[in-house]
Structure 1
Amino acid sequence: MAPNSNNKNSGFKYSPWMSLATVIVIFITISFISNGFDLSNPGKTSLSKFNQFLQAGQVDKVTFTNTKATVFLKKEALDDKNHEKVKNDYTNKLNTKGPHYYFEIGDLKTFQENLAKADAEKKINSYEKEPESFLGDLIVGIIPILLLVVLWIFMMRRMSGGAGGGGGQIFNIGKSKAKLFDEKTDTRVTFENVAGLEGAKEEIMEIVEFLKNPEKYTSIGGKIPKGALLVGPPGTGKTLLAKAVAGEAKVPFFSLSGSDFVEMFVGVGASRVRDLFKQAKEKAPAIIFIDEIDAVGRARGKNSMTGGNDERENTLNQLLTEMDGFGTNSNVIVLAATNRADVLDKALLRAGRFDRQIYVDLPDIRERKQIFEVHLKPIKKSEELDTEFLAKQTPGFSGADIANVCNEAALIAARKDKKAVDKQDFLDAVDRIVGGLEKKNKIVTPSEKKAIAYHEAGHATVSWMLEHAAPLVKVTIVPRGQSLGAAWYLPEERLIVRTDQMLDEMCATMGGRAAEKVIFNEISTGALSDLEKVTRQARAMVTIYGLNDKLGNITYYDSSGQSEYNFSKPYSEDTARVIDFEVSKLIEEQYQRAIHLLETHKDKLTLLANILIEKEVIFKDDLEAIFGKRPFDKEDEIFADK
């Protein structure tokens, strides 16, 4: 079979280095042309030295202009050591023809008289004056400049993707960078690939139905929504939902990022917005998807350092105009995604622009099970692998985190030369992602190891004794990441948190430092992350959730995000002192509570720490053997009605 001449891989590929090489070759060619393709190696000399060569009878011929003279030596003169440098040409061959020297003349009349005198004395064979060539010098001087201009225009056209369209714009820089997906494009992502997110999928599917069958809604007076904003934490599947819309809608789908509008040139962002909506209207019904819209949609007037009339705000103004400018029957819907809805401009969020805001939250345990089933399809897994177990072991994980766990588990299994991925590989992958890489070669002294063991055993003991503390899964004193030890818990997934639950969690967090105090009667710097966590929790109880009796039912939390731009706090100095006192009081109470619990069970704490020093890793079964079964554990009934 003959090779396909239309194969793109076999075509010519442009490289900027090719342009550079072309310019170099052209300059070399011009140099040879201006020198008549002469390979001689003439040396620069002076008029006085030339007179010495002339008197010695070594000069064969001289050609000169009004300012410059070129000297040709006799063949026998080349044997003189004084001419060693000009004896050979650039190819290292004997240069018998010349020219051999050039120099500046000075006084032309005197120079000609000297040549005439030497010719009369037979010391020179010939001399002649060359005519001045202004046209040749002009061409040689202008051609390099023209070449640079042509090369610059060529490279700009290549960088801008061609300058033919877009209303005659030279560099096409104001054209939209949106990628178009349509029914001819191989878009493989559908709603079957999106696990969980049932509520979000339902609203998105309704938008798809608007475009497929608009008469169903307009016939009874309904208006097609103009925009939908997907809001949620990173990795929850906002962009994946948009890709699924592209696969399901069967209409043209323009996809781009908010940063694609931002450019260093003034007016480019607004121009790209106009061009994007123009293309979408021409292909209506269509969908426009803007990922990370906060890049251009931030509230106006907040960046006072750069002024209000900057390029980003011009782009936002144009976007607001376009979204409210086209008619309700134009069948163009704008989808956007962001995880910073609090910083978006209020005009962008009003009804008539983004009519719907769809919150894409972190998946719950059932949705995590579905997400695991999607990401486990291409992985060779063992038959006894239970996705329900994996879903329980990954609370708080987003869809992107679960995809990362599956990939990391496959890598771990391959590293161990396994043929399939099993349960332990997934547990190791979760540990690797949450705690970091194991550092078994880290040098830890015996005294430090003992202190770390008691610290982690303190966490485990206090959490085991408290009803609302998260149940323990695993404790290790093997260094991971930046921590010297770690304890893994399986927190209960709650929609609301009560005061006693937060206090129990704070007490368990202070268990490590309390154990150091009870056993060694001194504390170390190893509780930094614990102190950071418990301080954040206590301050949230006092200033955000209104769970403090002294301050009462008041919160200083600003969900709009406007407080970020204020230099003053929303409370007085006296209130600030009360807040600091109440936060410190909360933490100290839970610290003393942890100390009391550990002193009561000091023997069991010591036994647990000794086992941890010996094994380095202990599990829930080891704690049950020491403390007995935890009375607060509840049977998990989440999958009972499946």
Structure 2
Amino acid sequence: MAKDKKNNKDNKPKFSPYWIYGILIAIFLGYSLLNSGIEENSGSITTAQFFDYLEDGDIAKVDIIKNTGVAKVYLTPEAEAKETHRKSKPQTFIPTSAPLPNYKLKYGTLENFEDDIKNAIKDLNNKPIVKFDIENNEWGNLLMSILPFILLIAVWIFIMRRMSGAAGGGAGGQIFNIGKSKAKLFDQNTEVKTSFKDVAGLEGAKEEVQEIVDFLKFPEKYTTLGGKIPKGALLVGPPGTGKTLLAKAVAGEAKVPFFSLSGSDFVEMFVGVGASRVRDLFKQAKEKSPSIIFIDEIDAIGRARGKNAMSGSNDERENTLNQLLTEMDGFGSNTNVIVMAATNRADILDKALMRAGRFDRQIFVDLPDVRERKEIFEVHLRPLKKAKDLDLDFLSKQTPGFSGADIANVCNEAALIAARNGKKAVDKQDFLDAVDRIIGGLEKKNKIITPSEKKAVAYHEAGHATVSWMLEHAAPLVKVTIVPRGRSLGAAWYLPEERLIVRPEQMLDEMCAALGGRAAEKVIFDKISTGALSDLEKVTKQARAMVTVYGLSDKIGNLTYYDSSGQSEYGFTKPYSEETAELIDKEISRIIEEQYERAVKLLEEHKDKLTELAEVLLEKEVIFKDNLEKIFGKRAFEKEEPILAKTEITEDKIAKDEEE
């Protein structure tokens, strides 16, 4: 019963100051309407009736209101007693001592109406009083004069209430709530279905973040030995490798409040908003500690300070970063709040953010190796209706350098291709077509191409295939096509070896194979074309890297001009002299020209087989490894399958040569 009484008490309407404002406005409006409606019940008569009553001597007074076009007619006491005017007595809602008109008359032109009255009363013995007046509505005028002030007061009260609501953390503060954090909270009331089982591969990264989750669940396991909870974990790696997915798994596994937001959520056009949101975020996290804060793409606010001197004296991003540094490790820091962040630009982050005591752990999330790709395929193939004979080992070997996001895209594209072809299950060919679609683009079989251009493309691609088949360290061929795809007129797909380190002879063989297309045009047609643009771009980058990055040039020596900190982009000078720059240019040109001559020599030695391969390509438009074996025989440099190592790192992506 007590609870019911309490509920009834809570359900009673609460007093609001808006009621007073509404009552006052209603009184003003009502009184104005009633005052103007005093004479609303006065009868209306026509002009003819008015002059009839005038001739009969029934009218005692006429008030002509100039500004409204209405004449008020007052009857004599004798006339009011007549049966004709029995209903003319005016009615009013508010008692008044002032006489009220019996009738109202709407006249036309004032001058004409005045002349007609003068003519009508000039022969009368008892002439009525004719009065001219201008009528004003005092209450209406008063209301209209104070209405702007009422509106201003109402707007001021509304703004003050919104400001107080924003200060109290209320929702809907709009512009006054702009300093509040935009972090999305995941807790026990929010169902997060992602777990560590959904994260394939990434064993090392999972162990690191699982330990953080374990620390939050069972802190006494570590604190009894004197250990301290880590303050921050930074996930670093290429795009699409699963950094955000790991954070989602932490949110699903931790069972503690998890605040998720992006680095760009701190950025706003108003000064001081970023720092205010950082303070509010950590305030909320400390209130719910132990808790986790996850900031995705932290490079939006964590870029190294002092690098943009043209931004002015007040850099909002730097203020936000300073506040974040203070909250993570300052006098008032809270050890029960863990900050996780993700970025693929760790080289540009501020050093103060990366030091121990802030981001204690830097977890590198790398591209998956062949074994991890198989695990990722298993995860993404679960919802698909796949063929029973689908070989996951084959798929993982056909996708070197693919990230987790790329593999998810391959699985989705394969399902779409299978559905487009009316299949009931996704098979091996669908996945191969999906890889081709993602790497090379959409096939354009209806693209207009002349026979001479098609022949040139065929010999170009056959040149790539021939040279790569003859070289030991070149990537083995998978497929060659002269069907236009994307922006290219033809393409060759290779399966590069997944290496931890690369030697000079391996890089030179790859460059020679890349120049095989232009070399074939030179050998067969004694002409070259613009079709080798992507090949030249690729070999130029490789040669420059050999000389300036990896120190693989004898003339330059064991020097590197590569800056891993990323600070060189802010410099205006080269780290070497003009003489060295000239030497670098000569070395790059020498390396490329030597490999080009090497490719020309190889193709001249096997010109007949090159021609045969090109004719097959012209006929079939697409050839595979089997076609090369029929012409060249077994490749002399076939290697055994490598032993899978847990620490293997994928650095190469499927290579393709484009014709543009």
Residue 452 and residue 143 in structure 1: after superposition, are their counterparts in 2 closer, same or farther (change >3 A)? farther
Alpha-carbon distance between aligned partners in 2 of 1:390 and 1:100, rounded to the nearest angstrom: 95
What is the identity, as a one-letter code, of the residue corresponding to 2:318?
E
For residue 120 of structure 1, the aligned residue among 118, 121, 130 is: 118
2:447 match? 442
Q: Tell me the equivalent position of 1:200.
A: 205
Structure 2 residues without counterparts, runs of 5 or longer:
1-28, 38-61, 72-104, 122-129, 647-660
C-alpha offsets along residues 253-275 of structure 1, whole Å, 9 cap, x if unaligned?
11111111111111111111111
After superposition, the C-alpha distances for 1:127-185 in whole angstroms (9 at most, x for unaligned) are 6412264314325656777788899999xx6xx99737339977221111111111232
SS of residue in 2 equivalent to 1:497? coil
- C-alpha distance 600-167 of structure 1, shift in aligned 2 (>3 A): same
**% same residue:** 75
Equivalence for 2:145: 138
CA distance in 2, matches of 1:521, 1:480: 27
Give the letter for the 1:394 counterpart: T
Question: CA separation in 1, counterparts of 2:169 and 2:261?
Answer: 19
Give the whole-Å Cα distance in 2 for the aligned partners of 1:131 and 1:496.
97
Greater RCO, 1 or 2 (C-alpha within 8 Å, sep 6+): 2
Which residue of structure 2 lines up, in the alignment, with residue 246 of structure 1?
A: 251
SS of corresponding position for 2:177: coil
Indicate conservation of the 8 Å contact 2:464/2:513, yes or no.
yes
Counterpart selection for 2:169 from 141, 166, 178: 166
1:385-464, aligned counterparts within 5 Å?
A: 385-464=390-469
Measured in 2, the distance between the counterparts of 1:152 and 1:609 equals 78
Given the superposition, is the C-alpha separation of residues 132 and 411 from structure 1 closer, same or farther in structure 2, using an over 3 Å criterion? Answer: same
Q: 2:232 aligns with which of 212, 227, 230?
A: 227
Letter in 2 for 1:533: K
Structure 1 partner of 2:470: 465
Matches within 5 A, 1:522-601: 522-601=527-606
Q: CA RMSD in A?
A: 3.3
Q: CA deviation at 1:209?
A: 1.6
> Quick one: which amino acid aligns to residue 118 of structure 2?
A
- Residue 423 of structure 2 aligns with an amino acid whose one-letter code is K
TM-score (norm 2): 0.77
Q: Which stretch has the larger CA shift, 473-482 or 213-222?
A: 213-222
Write the letter of the residue equivalent to 2:456. Answer: A
Query: Using a 3 Å threshold, how does the CA distance of structure 1 residues 115 and 245 change in structure 2: closer, same or farther?
Result: same
CA–CA distance in 1 between the matches of 2:314 and 2:409?
42
Change in Cα spacing, 1:161 to 1:578, as seen in structure 2 (3 Å) is farther
Question: Aligned partners of 2:415 and 2:157: how far apart in 1?
Answer: 53
After superposition, the Cα gap between the structure-2 partners of 1:640 and 1:140, relative to the gap in structure 1 and judged at 3 Å, is closer
Letter in 1 for 2:406: D
Deviation sequence 1:236-289 (CA, Å, 0-9, x none):
000111111111111111111111111111111111111111111111111111
TM superposition shift of 1:521 = 0.7
Choose from 182, 190, 206 the match for 1:177.
182
Residue 616 of structure 1 is aligned with which of 616, 621, 636? 621
Contact in 2 for aligned 1:369/1:388 (Cα 8 Å) = yes
Contact 1:70 1:99 in 2 (8 A): no
Aligned length: 549
- How far residue 324 of structure 1 moved from its aligned partner, in angstroms, is 0.4
| Paired amino acid for 1:120 | K
CA 620–151 in structure 1, closer or farther in 2 if over 3 Å, else same: farther
Q: What are the Cα deviations for residues 440-495 of structure 1, in whole angstroms up to 9, with x where unaligned?
A: 11101111100111111111110010000000000001111111100000000001
- Compare CA radii of gyration and give the structure with the larger one: 2
Q: Is the 8 A contact 1:119 1:126 kept in 2?
A: no
TM-score by length of 1: 0.79
Cα deviations by residue, 1:411-444 (Å, 9 ceiling, x for unpaired): 0000011110000000000000000001111101
Q: Would the aligned equivalents of 1:161 and 1:172 in 2 still touch at CA under 8 Å? A: no
1:226 touches 1:328 (CA, 8 Å); kept in 2?
no
1:370-398 per-residue CA deviation (whole Å, 9 max, x = no partner) reads 00000000000000001110000000000
| Amino acid in structure 1 at the alignment position of 2:169 | G
Is 1:346 aligned to residue 344 of structure 2? no
Please give the secondary structure, in 1, of the residue aligned with 2:359. Answer: coil
Quickly say closer, same or farther: Cα 1:141–1:98, change in 2 above 3 A. farther
What do residues 177-231 of structure 1 show as CA deviations (whole Å, max 9, x unaligned)?
1111112321111110000000111111111122122222222222221111000
- How far did residue 296 of structure 1 move? 0.6
* Cα distance, 1:325 vs structure 2: 2.5
Cα gap change, 1:415/1:147 in structure 2, threshold over 3 Å: closer, same or farther?
A: farther
Whole-Å Cα distance in 1 between the matches of residues 577 and 515 of structure 2? 30
